[in-house]
Homo-oligomer: A and B are copies of this chain.
Amino acid sequence: MSTASDAFVEINRERFLEELKTFLRIPSISTLPENRADIEHAAQFVSDGLREAGLENIEVIATEKHPLVYADWLNAPGKPTVLFYGHYDVQPADPLDLWKTPPFEPTVRDGSIYARGSADDKGQMYMHLKAVEALRAVNGTLPVNVKFLIEGEEEVGGASIAKFVAANPQKLKADVALVSDTALYAPGVPTLCIGLRGLVYLEVEASGPARDLHSGLYGGAAPNPVFGLIELLARVKNPRGEIKIPGIYDDVDPPAPAEKESWERLPFKERDFLKKEVGSTKLSGESKYSVLERLWARPTFEVHGIAGGFTGAGSKTVIPSRATAKVSFRLVPHQDPDKLIESFRQFVKKYAPRGIQIEERVLSSSPGLVVSPNHPAIEVAARAMSEMFQQPTVFVRNGASIPIVGDFATHLKIPTILMGFGLPDDGLHSPNEKYSLENYYKGILTISHFLEQYGAQGQ
């Protein structure tokens, strides 16, 4: 099975690596306005790659923010259609001084390629192109119909693709979507992710006095927006890790007993997670739930950043006039992001400290999601992975958010296969992000096998 395309991948190993390096050199940071040209460059790189892979009807679609890249190949009548999704944008690379090699100069060390975006998501989405290229190169055709929709705003909320999907259900019609933006549970363990948390990301700004004040002259009577913001945010979660926004736990479904049991069989070692992954002295959060349940099936509240007042070297006795924080809630399946946002607004209104004005701005919002492991496409995907890794595929959830999966469910009525080949220590969003080259090649092979088997099985 698949020997011809497997051989093609084997022969082209070096080229596939060099192409990925070229892709990773583009600093396509979607959140920074100064990287706008890099975003355009990355979109063009993807569109060129799709052309070389043999795709047709290639479009770089302008949006209100960053372009979408679309392509298809629909010459397998009677066969199912797979919609490939990925993103060419990346997170900012700061703090830069913690990178061992520069974030946008991809470097291979110990079998992994180090660069911002190597695992999240350039290295993974590029596997899709190479799998299709390999099949088409050796067979002159593809075993299924395929569509590609690649975005450049995944790290900043994905507003444009969400609109596009909602507006173009016919153009995007497919039987299943395939996304590689997750990780193996552990090295060598074939893994399909069947649950994702949603995300509501907000900016919260506190303002107090009309100007910066001397704390000696005004301290004790003038409202301090830094402390006001601290007071407010501290109320959102208690020391036991429980979120105090009214109603937040109302719609939280506990995982099914079978799913919970399967998690207990995973090779999860809390001590290793604490020491090797988190690198801290103790874990936090709701201790009455297991760590995996806290990560996969419980909502969370985090403060991602806070800034206000004097933070230079030395001391300045100022009561500043404003302060800002970036915060988010992770949501589990069945929680309604809009309902949460409304509850948070009420909470802010109720608890805004005396003399402090609070303004909250929603930067993005997406619901959580679960997919059934019994769906035919998921079953084929699980089999392709099991064969590649020579052991049974495990079904897990992921605490992160891939908002597009919800959009595919809502507007296209299709499930999404989350077949990721990252590893837990890849350092997504951190310095020294990496992606295993073994998994890069295995991913290309697994995806090509999946397409063959899914095509052979029929719709």
- Give the interface of A toward B (CB within 8 A): 30-33, 91-92, 94-95, 98, 155-157, 197, 199, 201, 203, 208-224, 226-227, 230-231, 233-235, 237, 239, 241, 273, 277-286, 291, 294-295, 298, 300-320, 323-326, 328, 330, 353-355, 357, 363-364, 398-401, 424, 427-431
Contact = CB atoms under 8 A, between A and B. Distances in A.
B295 A317 contact: no
Contact of A284 (B199, B355, B427): B355
Contact of A215 (B156, B224, B304): B304
Given A216-B399, A216-B400, 8 more contacts: A156-B314, A201-B317, A210-B280, A215-B300, A218-B277, A220-B294, A222-B280, A306-B307
B315 A156 contact: yes
Contacts of A428: 214, 217
A401 B233 CA distance: 31
A286 B220 CA distance: 7
A218 B328 CA distance: 13
A91 B217 CA distance: 15
Contact of A431 (B95, B211, B214): B211
A305 B278 contact: no
Contact of A222 (B227, B278, B400, B424): B278
A303 B230 contact: yes
Contacts of A312: 31-32, 92
A222 B274 CA distance: 8
B223 A284 contact: yes
A281 B319 contact: no
A76 to B, nearest CB: 35
A398 B217 contact: yes
A303 B307 CA distance: 12
A224 B284 contact: yes
26 contacts: A31-B315, A91-B316, A98-B211, A157-B315, A210-B279, A211-B430, A214-B429, A215-B302, A217-B398, A217-B424, A220-B330, A221-B278, A222-B283, A223-B280, A224-B284, A226-B325, A230-B234, A239-B353, A239-B354, A280-B355, A304-B310, A305-B310, A309-B326, A311-B324, A315-B364, A317-B400
Contacts of A316: 31, 91-92, 155, 304-305, 326, 429
Given A211-B430, A309-B304, A219 B281 contact: no
Contact of A226 (B91, B227, B303): B303
Contacts of A215: 300, 302, 304, 328, 330
A326 B306 CA distance: 13
A222 B303 CA distance: 12
Contacts of A233: 227, 230, 234
A56 B23 CA distance: 73
A308 B306 CA distance: 6
Given A216-B400, A219-B399, A357-B281, A227 B303 contact: yes
A211 B224 CA distance: 31
A249 to B, nearest CB: 13
Contacts of A318: 304-305, 429-430
Contact of A217 (B98, B317, B400): B400
A10 B319 CA distance: 39
Contacts of A199: 216, 317
Contacts of A429: 212-214, 316-318
A367 to B, nearest CB: 14
Which residue among A214, A216, A221, A424 has the maximum number of chain B CB atoms within 10 Å of its CB? A221
A356 to B, nearest CB: 8
A312 B98 CA distance: 18
A298 B353 CA distance: 20
B220 A227 contact: no
Which residue among A156, A223, A302, A319 has the maximum number of chain B CB atoms within 10 Å of its CB? A302
B212 A298 contact: no
A286 B221 CA distance: 8
Given A214-B430, A303-B226, A357-B281, A330 B91 contact: no
